[in-house]
Amino acid sequence: MSVPNISTIGVFDSGMGGLTVLKSLRQYMPDVNLIYLGDTARLPYGTKSPTTVINYALQAVEILLEYKIDIIVVACNTASSVAINCLEQRCKNVSIFGVILPGAIEVVCNRWFIKPIGVLATEATVRQGAYADAIHTMEPSAKVVSAPAQLLVALAEEGWHDGEIVEKILSKYIDSLIYQDIETLVLGCTHFPVFTKTIRQLYPSLNIVNSADTTASRIANTYRGIGSGKTTFLVTDSLERFKRVGAYFWHNSMNDIKLVDL
């Protein structure tokens, strides 16, 4: 089967978390051009109402559409869980990819649904029940249990990804799922892959689903990237902070970075 060529992918998140998706996309697709929008002026999305997140996501997409992009990746679980339908209605000619479905597919394909599945996510993603809905369309018998873990977003951005305090906070959230007998943990927020190593040390037998990596791998299997491998960053506030904190997630240089107004 022939794979369509694309030259530019637009990616957005509330702030830095989507850089985990961007990093995986760059690893899978070295030639594609990537334009990343971090809505740093309005982070966090995870504590906001669905109406507000939908409005923010529509505005973010308007900015990306000013560039010549082929597809858009909503690199934010919160926006993916509430805004995907509205974004698809707005963007008839550009395909929209969220991060929820690839994670749900990973769980079901590995048959990790015999025991309850744990989802660690923002308040808004948990409230929306998006992972349970996506998993149930493929496997109605699966039991999905969730823990809202909004504090982890702030820790991730603080660069605190390991150490005693982080372990205590992670355990506080994850133990509530362990007590419900989970064997699989979905990192349902794009900020959370930075904790993977610490979570593995604390819970070596858990299966961990990284929604950033599953999304990037799905896109790399769907398209061939034929750009020049350029990465452009757009932020809605605090450019210098984005550069400094973004390094925890992107691990690469950020040369082409601009402030944009929403």
Interacting residues with ligand DGL (CB under 6 A): 13-14, 17, 43-46, 76-78, 122, 125, 153, 189-191
| Smallest gap from residue 47 Cβ to ligand DGL (A) | 7
* 3 state DSSP class of 5: strand
**DSSP states of 67-98 as a string?**
S--SEEEE--HHHHHHHHHHHHHH-SSSEEE-
Q: Would you say 8 or 190 has its CB closer to ligand DGL?
A: 190
CB-closest chain residue to ligand DGL: 46
Residue (of 137, 78, 77, 81) closest to 113 by Cα position:
137
Q: Would you say 6 or 216 has its CB closer to ligand DGL?
A: 216
Is 91 a residue of the active site? no
| Smallest gap from residue 221 Cβ to ligand DGL (A) | 22
Is 189 a residue of the active site? yes
Q: Would you say 52 or 176 has its CB closer to ligand DGL?
A: 52
Q: Would you say 78 or 214 has its CB closer to ligand DGL?
A: 78
How would you list the strands of the sheet with 71-74, edge to edge? 95-97, 71-74, 8-13, 33-38, 231-235, 257-259
Q: Spot the catalytic one: 86, 91, 109, 189.
A: 189
**DSSP states of 142-175 as a string?**
--EEEEE-THHHHHHHHT--SSHHHHHHHHHHHH
| Smallest gap from residue 212 Cβ to ligand DGL (A) | 9
Q: Would you say 6 or 101 has its CB closer to ligand DGL?
A: 101
| Smallest gap from residue 24 Cβ to ligand DGL (A) | 14
Q: Spot the catalytic one: 76, 86, 91, 109.
A: 76
Q: Is 163 exposed, middle or buried (0-12, 13-18, 19+ CB in 10 A)?
A: exposed
Q: CA 98 to CA 78: how far, in whole Å? A: 10
| Smallest gap from residue 105 Cβ to ligand DGL (A) | 17
Q: CA 40 to CA 199: how far, in whole Å? A: 27
| Smallest gap from residue 141 Cβ to ligand DGL (A) | 27
Tokens for 106, please give them: 């990973």
Backbone angles phi, psi at 237, to 5 degrees: -170, 160
Q: CA 259 to CA 40: how far, in whole Å? A: 10
* 3 state DSSP class of 6: strand
Q: Would you say 6 or 235 has its CB closer to ligand DGL?
A: 235
For the annotated catalytic residues, the residue numbers are 76, 189
